Amino acid sequence: MGAFNLQTLARPNILALEPYRCARDDYTDGVLLDANENPYGPALHNLHSQEKSSELNRYPDPHQQPVKQLLCNFRNQERIGEALEVPELTPANLFFGVGSDEAIDAIIRCFCTPGKDKLLTCPPTYGMYGVSAQINDVEVVKVNLEVSSDKGAFQLRPDAVNEALSNDPLIKVAYICSPGNPTAALIDKSDIEKVLNHPTWNGIVVVDEAYIDFSPAGSSMAPYVNKYPNLVVMQTLSKSFGMAGVRLGVSFGSPEVTSLFNNMKAPYNISTPASQFAERALSPEGIAIMKEYATLLIEERVRLLKELPRIPGVGKFIGGEDANFILFEVLDKPDGVPSSKIAYEVYSALAELKGVVVRFRGKEFGCEGGIRVSIGTKVENDTFIAKFREAIQEAQRT
């Protein structure tokens, strides 16, 4: 944090950007004849009352301040320990995007000059960091996670990350996924803070917390964005809130950083229905439902962690226990060694012959023989266990 300087880090064209001023920035009430909208309403047959009240013929709110405040209210409840010393989160700390993928791309465009600058990732990790980097012509520097340490599986190597940042000033962004995907491992906060406190590096640390609500209470780094101006924390309503189809991602950062993202975004990137669904989900009633569902999924996670090792040919769990999925090894025979070949055969047979779809992860660093399975309902998990038992027995016989 000591060397952080937003004015020299962000691209000059982004700093100088005058955001597009849309019609709803000025006025939202009255006889609205300023945005070339259709005054007769949407071309939908048999509109019900909620659809009529949504005014789908009007452009959506470009700022979503009420929804942002609800999210701040929720996350401010998690301010513990050192984070209590900093101001509470406010809507000025928030950027909303079309899923977290919009934020991943916006961060790269804001801080990395195409064909020149670089970003850092810590494999195994979420693939969209690399995809967005390639789209933006930004090189990726990789510092692998520690496969096994006294802090658990797939932990950050902060000294190695800091060495890479010291050796290459062209690295402008470091992405850290916590809990990791596909690892399900929560990254130790103190290790992230070591990177944030790098004495000479001028860059942004991005902590992707898509699965944070399946982790122990108080795990989020979001409250720390008012302590560390070089920190951005990404979250989403897709996972714990069960609204992947709504496509609403969230980024927390300092007001200075998030103002750049909000200047860059499309004027109406969040639709009216998405905003309305988010407002309902972030109400006290919605949060209570989310927590109820998260508890059920965690209970089923515990069950799978007990049941899977009883199946011959299942190796050890190679990730953490902090997300709504688990990562485990498939062996080449009941008491054999991890095999990505057998794991892929099991994955394919499950999807193509048995109607159960999981993810093969055996090609990623530290994940030999790896299969990642999302936690389903009890009935879905029962089906998975039965079909998986069949598939692994069949694959090991061939």
Which of the following CATH numbers is that of domain 6-22+59-282: 3.30.450.20, 3.40.50.1470, 3.10.20.600, 3.40.640.10? 3.40.640.10
Q: Which residues contact 266 (CB under 8 A, 6 or more apart)?
A: none
Q: 323 pairs with which residues across the strands? A: none
Domain with CATH 3.90.1150.10 in the chain: 287-397
Cis status, amide bond into 124, omega within 30 of 0: yes
- pLDDT, position 261: 97
Q: Which residues contact 220 (CB under 8 A, 6 or more apart)?
A: 75, 78, 209, 212, 233, 235
Per-residue pLDDT of the chain (398 residues), as tens digits, is: 678 999 999 999 999 998 888 888 888 889 988 889 999 989 988 888 787 788 899 999 999 999 999 999 999 987 655 555 778 999 999 999 999 999 999 999 999 999 999 999 999 999 999 999 999 999 999 999 999 877 789 999 999 999 999 999 999 999 999 999 999 999 999 999 999 999 999 999 999 999 999 999 989 999 999 999 999 999 999 999 999 999 999 999 999 999 999 999 999 999 999 999 999 999 999 999 999 999 999 999 999 999 999 999 999 999 999 999 999 999 999 889 999 999 999 999 999 999 999 999 999 999 999 999 999 999 999 999 999 999 999 998 87
- pLDDT, position 84: 56
Task: Round the CA-based radius of gyration of the chain to a whole number and report it.
Answer: 23
Residue 385's φ and ψ, nearest 5 degrees, are -60, -45
Domain with CATH 3.40.640.10 in the chain: 6-22+59-282
158-202 residue pLDDT tens = 999 999 999 999 999 999 999 999 999 999 999 999 999 999 999
Token output for 82: 């050192």
Nearest to residue 364, comparing CAs of 318, 309, 305, 304? 318
State how far the Cα of 111 lies from the Cα of 172, in Å rounded to an integer: 6
Q: Find how far residue 141's CA is from the centre of its chain.
A: 20
- pLDDT, position 86: 77
pTM of the model: 0.95
Taking residue 395's Cβ as centre, other Cβ atoms within 10 Å add up to 22
Q: 96 pairs with which residues across the strands? A: 250
Whether 338 and 344 have beta carbons less than 8 Å apart is answered as no
Domain 287-397 belongs to what architecture?
A: Alpha-Beta Complex (3.90)
